[in-house]
Amino acid sequence: MKDLRIIKFGLVLILVLGLAPLILAQENKKEEVTKKTTAKEISGQVSGMSSSLISILYGQDKKTSYEMALTINKDTKVEHKKSLKEIQPGDTVLVKYEETTETYKVEDAKGQKKEVTRRLGRLVKAVVFLKAAPKELQSFEEK
């Protein structure tokens, strides 16, 4: 009889703990979701590339380097070069991209609504080659 009570208590505990996230999610309902796509540009040095990403080093101060990774695809246009394969790390480029965000209001535990913006992605539309990497950087990479 005692074992049966322990099992029942365990099942009730599992049920309560399993439903807790669902109850909390109901409290944080998203209302009026608005998606927005904005055209943007960034220039800097290419710090890395793959078949689906390009990484741009766009700023640096004494302690921090600022880098952004952007998604590229087969529709990405290239200007002043024949293809993306010709662009190397260290080259200076201008990247034209679209940033997609969604904005919605969330009610917090106190019943106050606050606006939340979440970035969904950055898709590169065009990469404009501006300047080749400095000679010392090119020779270092070849070694």
Question: Of 107, 96, 109, whose CA–CA distance to 42 is shortest?
Answer: 96
Residue 3 within any structural domain of the chain:
no
Residue 6 lies in a domain: no
Number of structural domains found in the chain: 1
What is the model's pTM? 0.69
List the beta strands (DSSP E) in the chain: 30-49, 53-60, 65-71, 77-79, 92-107, 113-131
- The CA-atom distances, in angstroms, between 29 and each of 25, 92, 103, 104, 119 are 6, 44, 13, 9, 18
Residue 85 within a domain: yes
Considering the domain boundaries, does residue 41 fall inside one?
yes
Is residue 129 in a domain?
Answer: yes
**99 pLDDT higher than 70:** yes
- Is the pLDDT at 10 greater than 70, yes or no? no
Domain annotation covers residue 11: no
For residue 8, pLDDT over 70 is answered with no
pLDDT more than 90, % of the chain: 53
Domain contains 62: yes
Question: Residue 7 falls within a domain, yes or no?
Answer: no
In the predicted model, what is the mean pLDDT of the chain?
82
pLDDT tier for residue 32 given thresholds of 50, 70 and 90: confident
Give residue 101's domain range. 30-142
Kindly report the CATH number assigned to the domain that includes residue 55.
Answer: 2.40.50.320
Question: pLDDT by residue (tens digit) across 16-27?
Answer: 556 555 555 544
Instruction: Give the pLDDT score at 139.
Output: 47
Q: Which of 67, 69, 42, 39 is nearest to 54 (CA)?
A: 69
